[in-house]
Amino acid sequence: MKEKIIEKANDMFLNLGFKSVTMDDLASEMGMSKKTIYTHFQNKTKLVEATTDHLFCSICDGINGILDQKHDPIEELYAIKAFVMNHLKNEKTAPLHQLEKYYPHIHQGLKTKQFEIFQDCVVDNLKRGIEKGVFRKNIDIQFISRIYFIGSVGIKNKNMFPEHMFPVGKLMDDYLEYHILGITTEKGRKILNTLIKEDQI
């Protein structure tokens, strides 16, 4: 039952927002009493914490599955982007904004864990890209991995990137292309151009 509550809460939070969904809403949606939910979660904060942990683990498992497939490094970045976008309901802005505003401690903890996983993943991707000749040999791997993470977080700032001007899907595509173009070789650029064309079909 606890898993079912987490899964339903996850779906509702991502679609409607962490603040917008109440325990009453969740109970009604699941056809159970609010008291039943409270037997598993002391309060809504505990539920939000469990839900974000569950989501984080699911995304990590999915990314690890992609990494195991040993794609070309540039193709791998596109595969990860597509998976994450799909898993986060195309990165709807309201839920993430509400998580940061109303549950800052949870948001910060999640961000720290994201960086740790992101760093390992991107550093490995950059090293393999250099070995395969699709990324330039003279790039500073530690600098690139960190600036890429900061940018990934920064483009979610809706004051800087209002959604009516920067639709989320296109913004993510443009940022990934910007990242790759800054580090790629001629060989890598050919792969990138092919992926961009395939994305547009």
- Chain segment 31-87, per-residue pLDDT in tens: 999 999 999 999 999 999 999 999 899 889 999 999 999 999 999 999 999 898 887
83 contacts 66 by C-beta, under 8 angstroms:
yes
CATH architecture for the domain at 47-200:
Orthogonal Bundle (1.10)
Amino acid at 195: L
- pLDDT, tens digit (0-9, with 9 covering 90-100), for 43-53: 999 999 999 99
24 contacts 45 by C-beta, under 8 angstroms:
no
For 18, counting Cβ atoms within 10 Å of its Cβ (0-12 exposed, 13-18 middle, 19+ buried), the class is buried
The pLDDT confidence band at residue 89, using thresholds 50, 70 and 90, is: low
Question: 20 in helix, strand or coil?
Answer: coil
The pLDDT confidence band at residue 92, using thresholds 50, 70 and 90, is: low
